[in-house]
Amino acid sequence: MDSMTQTPAFDGKPAKLVELTNQSGMRLVVMDIGATWLSCVLPLASGEKREVLLGNVTMADFKRQHNYMGATVGRYANRIAQGRFDLHDVTYQVSTNQSGNCLHGGEEGFDKRRWTIEAQSQSRVTFGLLSSDGDQGFPGNLSVSVSYELTSCNQVKISYFAKSDKATPVNLTNHAYFNLAGAESGEDCLSHYLAINAEQFVPTNGVGIPIGVIESVAGTGFDFRVGKTISTHFMQDNQQISAKGYDHSYLFTALRDVCEPIAMVMSPDEQVRLYVKTDKPAMQLYTGNWLAGAPNRSGGVYGDYAGLALETQFLPDSPNNLEWLQLNGQSNCILEPDQEYQYQTTYQFEC
């Protein structure tokens, strides 16, 4: 991974990498550019060291890919319709960068920023960022921190904190792409077994904007309450055809036990399982529908569906759908000056 530091990042200076390890031999590499999760190597019972995170090995390749691989995305992850929303009687127009909408914070989102390393140890690192008032059109001076912690039982805990001096939408997530068969195995994610403990999902239009309703997964290809191989109902309905696969948010019940997994993924060879736990209200399932051509680690490129993202977050376009009650009977996507944005997502690996 040292090759990532040999050419300048977006700001003309080399990136800084941090390696986290535990006693079982699991290894994480994260980077200050985008507070990005670059690598996740698991020690398998067979003795294999398996890389399960899609990624790049040079800064040139990291700049070339536009898939947010492993990055912390914000100020608002997912989409805001037309980059426009009303907040406290003021209409805001923010940066638009996909089909006339704001995706993952706009043209110069948090994934392209150099974050400050605020604290570091063998098992934990904290990155900080100050997003100024008006950044990409968003209101308020926003102070953000993201921590990665690798535990002794192969958990990756990602903790998010933010505070603003003005009301502003905030929705932070990590955009890691997982392939539990091996990132460079050539096997796509559609052969993975997936379970999602959610009864509702959000249908979208042709450019990924919610159509204004939240629907039951019952009787649809979006029902993963009983686990199944991703390919089982793949591309068998108009919602998936429009998105070229799964690229939709699932909403979890507000009464759930946050210590229980909201999703589980298993590799085709059944050697690796990934459990996702979070106190966020929703998760975007994205099957890497537009990964084709993104540089991989071996000098080639990934194909579509090479990995899946499990992005814990608020629902897309929530600033324009404040009637959606996502947590504690509130929308919660708007951070007020007297509040703190504080959430955690845990990716637990068993192998």
Number of helices and strands (H, E) in the chain? 2, 27
What was the pLDDT predicted at 296?
Answer: 96
* Section 251-271 average pLDDT: 91
345 confidence band (pLDDT: 50, 70, 90): very high
Distance separating alpha carbons of residues 147 and 155, to the nearest angstrom: 13
Percent of the chain at pLDDT > 90 equals 95
Domain positions in the chain: 2-350
Model confidence at 157: pLDDT above 80: yes
Q: Is 78 annotated as a binding residue?
A: yes
Say which residues have a Cβ less than 8 Å from residue 338's Cβ, sequence separation at least 6: none
What was the pLDDT predicted at 257?
Answer: 80
What was the pLDDT predicted at 3?
Answer: 87
What was the pLDDT predicted at 327?
Answer: 80
Model confidence at 291: pLDDT above 90: yes
Give, in words, the CATH class of 2-350: mainly beta
Q: Please tell me the total number of residues recorded for the chain in this structure.
A: 351
Q: Is 176 annotated as a binding residue?
A: yes
* Section 166-185 average pLDDT: 98
Q: Does the CA dihedral 228-244-273-45 come out positive or negative?
A: positive
- Please give the C-alpha separations between residue 204 and each of 80, 237, 333, 347, in angstroms, as whole numbers: 12, 13, 19, 27
Q: Is 154 annotated as a binding residue?
A: no
Catalytic residues: 175, 311
Q: Is 257 annotated as a binding residue?
A: no
Q: Is 302 annotated as a binding residue?
A: no
What was the pLDDT predicted at 217?
Answer: 98
261 confidence band (pLDDT: 50, 70, 90): very high
Model confidence at 10: pLDDT above 80: yes
What was the pLDDT predicted at 332?
Answer: 80
| Cα 72–Cα 209–Cα 195 angle in degrees, nearest 5 | 65
- Please give the C-alpha separations between residue 35 and each of 67, 112, 114, in angstroms, as whole numbers: 15, 9, 8
Average model confidence (pLDDT) for the chain?
A: 96
* Section 301-310 average pLDDT: 98
- Please give the C-alpha separations between residue 4 and each of 35, 62, 152, 242, 279, in angstroms, as whole numbers: 14, 8, 27, 36, 33
pLDDT in tens, 189-234: 999 999 999 999 999 999 999 999 999 999 999 999 999 999 999 9
